[in-house]
Each structure stands twice: as structure tokens, then as C-alpha cells.
Structure 1
Amino acid sequence: MTRKKIDLSSDVGESFGVWTMGNDEALMPYLTSVSIACGWHGGDPQVMRRTVALAKTHRVRVGAHPGYPDLLGFGRRPMQLSPGEARDYLLYQIGALYAFAKAERMQLQHVKLHGALYHDAAQDRSLSEALAGAIVEVDPTLILVGPPESALLSAGQAAGLRVAAEGFGDRTYNEDGSLVSRSAPGALLTDPDAVVDQVLLMVEGKVRAITGRMISITVDTVCLHGDTPGAPAIAKRLRERLALVGIKTLPLEEIFVDQVS
């Protein structure tokens, strides 16, 4: 059954110092939510504040995008953490973005983990329970974003959090529903029409695996990576096509409110 609404999101604010990642200014007008790096895999205090302010200008909801403390590896390398370390690492990063959001008179909507932490928590129940517990400690009304049917979302639900299943418009999928490794050929979709076609399938509850087989997937939010080549043009095309076929793009908070009402 086709969904009539979807959140269109991106991971942003990942530049730091003199190093630039993505084109947040050009991408932001086409989004409904953004996940902002919290300074450990990308971002810095000035970038965080500018990105929150940019989102406010475009009426885009903001969430925290915490990761492993790994600037050199962009947070895409696994680390071994104890549950206590995982909890406190998350509290530290969410707290930093919370302060910038408050300074701009904005409220955090969600938490979405980054890179290796996202994938590790999706499979490791003890890690995901520690992270979900940290989010509850900060604000139990925050939405936890993660892979569909993952240990992460299951732990979030058990902790009493609202959870949102995420799909990726610019990444390809294996038949088991996992993402094709970035190191493998064909892992990234950069053609705007290919991304649009994949997202339109997602809002119908399915996606074509890299093998060609159609698999089921249920998502509340679709992410476009800010570092994907041509991301702003892809987002613009996608927003136009979704509107053309009657699919509303709304931030997660509004989608959840509509579901309750």
C-alpha cells in the first residue's frame, strides 16, 4: 500500500575547520528534517550553530547525528565500547547539539546514529539498549531513527521511544535488506532519476535489490547523503516528483502526529 507522506532527510553539518563536506546550503530547501553532526565524526561548534540556523531559516526540523569519535575515519570505522561508554558518548554529543538548538530557539526532533555506530547498533542489542537508554535520559520524546526491523529500533521501542524506520534513496540494497558496502561496485546511486525511482518504490513498501530481486521494506523517512555527488539536484528532482504523484513530504514529528490523529 502506498504511503501518502514521507520525511525527506539528510545528514548535514559534517564540515569542520577549513574542511568542507557536502553543500548544505543548496540541499536544505528540499528537506523536511536534517540530522546534524555533533563534532566527533564531523562538524565543529561553529558549523553546528550555522547548520541549526540554516535549518531554522528553511523551517526544517533538526536532529542529532552522533557517531564514534573518529574524525580521521569519518566515523565509518567500528569501535569496541562498553555500555557505559556508549551511553555517555551519546549523552555528550546530543547535549552539544541540544545547546545550539536551544540557542536558536529550536527543539530537537530525533536522534540518528552515524556510520559504523549506526550499523553496529542495528545488530548489537546490548549496544542499542545502552544508546536507547541514553536518549531516554536526555528526552524521552525524541524519535530514534534506524534501519527497519533492526535491534536498534527494537531497543528503542522497548525503552518507550518513538522509532522511525529509515531508507536510503542514494544507496543500493542487498537481498537481506542491508546496504551494499560502500567499497562494492554500484553501492551509490548518483543519477537523479534512479534515486527518484528507488524512493517511489520505497513509499510503496518495496525496493529492488542490487541483484534485481524486489524485496519488502517499510520506511518512515528517506535519507539522501549530503556528500553524494549532485545531492541538491537529486533532492530537488525527488521533491518535485513526490509532489507530482501526491506524496506529501513532512517532518517526522508531523507524520507521527497525523498517525495518532
Structure 2
Amino acid sequence: MKLNCDLGESFGSWTMGLDEKVMPHIDQANIACGFHAGDPLVMQKTLVLAKENNVSVGAHPGYPDLVGFGRRSINCSTEELIALVMYQVAAIDGVAKSIGIELEYVKPHGALYNDMMVKKEVRDAILCALSRYHRPLKLMLQATPKIEEHRAEAKQYNIDILSEAFADRCYDDDGKLLARTKPGAVHNKEKMLAQVKQLKEQGCVTSVSGNILTLNADSLCVHGDNIEGVQAIESIRELIG
């Protein structure tokens, strides 16, 4: 199982995350494209950092919402969604190509990711955007009990799916992430490492009510927003090898 992390989310004089400390421990970097976070210089520096650490790179597009960090849904038409995804993917793909690396996948950010998981029309718009792009790119989305349905949807657009699980988030009984407004939504380090071990050894997680959920995950999402998060990533890296 690979490790992926959202990076490149600093903007101007505002610093977000500990990218240089995180990058050596991960396999895939989801890099902001400027709509929810990031800027051209940050994007370029993050791509160079990924190249130096031999880390695969993916586009991390979001709604055009710098103030809200892309965590607020925006009511876009299908064509608007297609255009904003293609715009962001093309931007980071061009910068990546200029420094000698290839963009491999797309993982939407924040509210766009959440909307993609619950609204078929948003999912279809994102898949359509990738299908119109000039070369194949994979789509990363959440591994849920519906993952095979999502793979079938993507196949209609000739798009391959990368499925991800979450190291530090508690799962609801339906396979979705437990809302952050509910107690226990974010695991402490002990519970996080136990969940990672369960995923590695058994391919499943235990939901908030104690149900066992089988998750076919290609990648594991980790977060390095603070030094404790970086230390947790180091522990996860040791655990999964």
C-alpha cells in the first residue's frame, strides 16, 4: 500500500504544512493547483521536491475558494466543473513536464472531493474532464463498499481508479468518513496506527459502531500539517514498509 499526502498548499507569505519533512516518507504527492491553495512558485518548488525524493505526483484541484481553503461547496454547472478541473490539471501538468516529471493522477480536494463521493453528477463531470484531457490520468477517490461501482463508472470514460483509505479518520457504518463534527472523528496516534495495521494485515477497518468494513485500497492518505503528523507518517512508513 502506498502513502499519499496533500502538499503544496502554501500561498504567498502564508505557510501550510511541512512539505520538506513529509516528502521523504511518502510515495504520492497530491499538489495544490492554485484554486483552493498554492501559487505558481509553491507549485514549482513542490514539484522539484517530489522529483528529488522520487515521489509520484498528482493534481489536487479544488473549487475556486482560496478564502475557504476549498472546503465550501460551490454550485457549478457541469461545464464549469469540467473546465475548472481541466484548467488546474493542465497548469500543474505543464509545470511538471517543464522540470522533467510526469503527472500521474488527479485527486480532488476538500468540498470537491466530498461532492464527488456523494453526487454522481459531480463524479461524472470530473471523469468527463479527465476523459477529454490529451492523455490518460487516473482518478483517486475514496475506497468505500461502492468502489466497484465507481470503477465501472470510470471504465465508461476509459479512466482507471486509484482507491484510497484514510489513516487518521474514523469510518461511519456506511463506509464514509465520520463527520468531523462527531466525537472520535479523528483518531489519536494509537488508534491511527491500529487502523493502519488492520488495513495492512486484514484489508479492513472497524467502523464507529464496531462493524468490519472491507476496503480495497491502493493508497493510504496521511497528513503532515504539524510535527506530530510528520512523526505519525514516519511510524506508518515503518509499519507498512
TM score, norm. by length of structure 2: 0.93
1:152/1:108 CA distance change after superposition, 3 Å? same
Q: What is aligned with 1:13? A: 8
Q: What is aligned with 2:230? A: 232
1:18/1:154 CA distance change after superposition, 3 Å? farther
Give the aligned length: 237
Matches of 1:62 and 1:69, distance apart in 2: 21
Q: What is aligned with 1:241? A: 239
Structure 1 residue 152: deviation in Å?
A: 5.5
Residue 221 of structure 2 corresponds to residue 197 of structure 1: no
TM score, norm. by length of structure 1: 0.86
Structure 1 residue 218: deviation in Å?
A: 1.4
Q: What is aligned with 1:219? A: 217
Cα-Cα RMSD: 1.6
* 1:100-147 Cα deviation digits (max 9, x unpaired): 101111000110011111111112222211111111222442111002
Residue 85 of structure 2 corresponds to residue 85 of structure 1: no
Equivalent residue letter for 2:213: I
- Checking the alignment, whether the CA contact within 8 Å between 2:27 and 2:55 is kept in structure 1 is yes
* 1:20-55 Cα deviation digits (max 9, x unpaired): 111011011000111001011111111100000000
Paired residues for 1:52-67 under 5 Å? 52-67=47-62
Q: What is aligned with 1:117? A: 112
Matches of 2:229 and 2:95, distance apart in 1: 25
Q: What is aligned with 2:43? A: 48
Once the two structures are overlaid, the 10-residue window that deviates more, 154-163 or 35-44, is 154-163
Equivalent residue letter for 1:216: T
Once the two structures are overlaid, the 10-residue window that deviates more, 222-231 or 110-119, is 222-231
1:80/1:228 CA distance change after superposition, 3 Å? farther
Structure 1 residue 60: deviation in Å?
A: 0.2
**Does the residue aligned with 1:230 lie in a helix, a strand or coil?**
helix
Structure 1 residue 155: deviation in Å?
A: 3.2
Structure 1 stretches of 4+ with a deviation exceeding 3 A read 150-155
Mark the runs of 5 or more structure 2 residues left unpaired by the alignment: none
Matches of 1:85 and 1:227, distance apart in 2: 31
1:59/1:215 CA distance change after superposition, 3 Å? same
Structure 1 residue 9: deviation in Å?
A: 0.6
Equivalent residue letter for 1:174: D
Structure 1 residue 189: deviation in Å?
A: 2.2
**Does the residue aligned with 2:116 lie in a helix, a strand or coil?**
helix
Matches of 1:13 and 1:57, distance apart in 2: 15
Matches of 1:93 and 1:74, distance apart in 2: 15
**Does the residue aligned with 1:184 lie in a helix, a strand or coil?**
coil
Matches of 1:78 and 1:155, distance apart in 2: 23
Return the structure number with greater relative CO, CA threshold 8 A, min gap 6. Answer: 1
